[in-house]
Amino acid sequence: MQPYEGIDVLDLTQSIAGPISTQFLGTLGANVVKVEPPGGDAFRGLLDGAMFASVNLGGKRSVSLDLKTEEGQAAAQSLAERADVVVESFRPGVVERFGLDYESVAEVNEDVVYLSLTGFGQDGPRTDWPAYDPVVQAMSGLMSTIGYQDRPPVRIGASVIDYGTGTTAAFLLASALMERERSGEGTHIDVSLFEVAVSWMGYWIAHYTGTGEVPERSGQGFAGLAPNEVFHAAGDEPFYLSVVNDRLYERLCRGLDREDLLTDERFAENADRWEHREALRAELDAEFRRHDREDLTALLAEAGVPTGPLQTVDEVAEDPQVQARELLTDSYNLWNDVDVQTAGAPYQASGERPELGERPPARGEHTREVLEELGYSEEDVARLVKEDVAHPSEHDPR
């Protein structure tokens, strides 16, 4: 499935959210050119290079240009002029200095699909605030709901807002390209980490505005629902059990062959189970610790109860579902000069999972190649390199 074959994408992003959006398009066939500053994407070395290695696949090519120079700007503007899609993640107003803002690009490329990805959007009192994923987790209310009531809030351990915003951006770009195909018109899309995060808090906001109740942290579980938390099987092996209604509770009791828990008045309905959750937990904990975790979760899943082992990253990498679905893909961590695996595309099309490519590009690896495609001669490129405007990879044989 390569619907974007022949679509040129100019990637002016760093970090995670922007790169994941263009990686999606590259995986689906687009020609993605990533413009990096002389020092490279600021995230190339974070987590020993693992972050960059995970979100810059999809066949991206890297061009390293100094956009603070007139000739660096001119080269990037030429890329924007021929692009079908431009994605940028600068703070509002910065791209205007480079002549790469939507209005400037649209003057020479009127049907361009242009997406600005920022922390807080193109206007508003916080438009100039810098933001990374955990800051937005905090400001959106998400972090306030995570953890235990008697302890401080905690962040989610993965960059879920970055990934969610990048995925949202990819969907919007795909939709804009479809609209352009129909109407012939481009558009400027304004999407932000904060707005995506707030949208994810939608049901909590609806609950608050309807009841006046501010959600409290509920630890491993979900306030008002029981049993709905982490339990332990034999050997203290953790797993998660999510029973959100009476029907699932009945399946749980019958699957465990514990009819006594089904007829106990303390646990008759969810409100009763929540009120007597400590007693219910004690009953279930004693029962669960009699079983091997793998056997127990399989038994409950077969009974139709949502459950699964609480796995560490090493266990996920060896998970039989991950292996069966071939969910991991080979990549290469340029920072540490080591082969790695990362998560592959999270879908299959016609029974096949798309290839993401063997590795992300080295910083400036395709500088010469892309500039020559724009019409620069070898002598022009050599001059730009000498004048410190263009920065080919240090591995470039020329």
Q: DSSP per residue over 9-50, as a string?
A: EEEE--TTHHHHHHHHHHHTT-EEEEEE-TT--TTTTGGGGH
| pLDDT digit string, tens, across residues 164-184 | 999 999 999 999 999 999 999
User: Has residue 397 got a pLDDT over 60?
Assistant: no
The 10s digit of each residue's pLDDT in 363-384 is 888 999 999 998 999 999 999 9
Q: Which helix (H) or strand (E) segment is 102 a member of? A: helix 102-108
* Distance set, CA 216 to CA 278, 289, 369 (Å): 18, 29, 55
- At 396 the pLDDT is 54
Share of the chain above pLDDT 90, in %: 60
The per-residue pLDDT for range 320-372, each reduced to its tens digit, is: 888 888 878 888 888 888 888 887 777 777 677 778 777 888 888 899 999 99
* Mean of pLDDT over the chain: 90
Q: What is the pTM of this model?
A: 0.84
In order of their start, the domains of the chain are 8-199+325-386 (3.40.50.10540), 228-310 (3.30.1540.10)
How long is the chain?
A: 398
Handedness of CA 216, 220, 222, 227 (dihedral sign): negative
* CA atoms of 107 and 280, how far apart (whole Å): 66
Higher pLDDT, 392 or 220: 392
pLDDT in the model for residue 99: 97
Cα 32 to Cα 28, 57, 198, 333: the distances in Å are 11, 10, 30, 20
Residues with active-site annotation: 162
CA 314, 320, 321, 324 torsion-angle sign? positive
Contacts of 117 (CB under 8 A, 6+ apart): 13, 17, 18, 21, 87, 88, 89, 165, 166, 169, 191, 192, 193
pLDDT in tens, 105-151: 999 999 999 999 999 889 888 888 888 898 888 888 888 888 888 88
The DSSP result for 306-348, as a single string, is -EEE---HHHHHT-HHHHHTT-EEEEEETTTTEEEEEE--S--
Residue 98 reports pLDDT greater than 60: yes
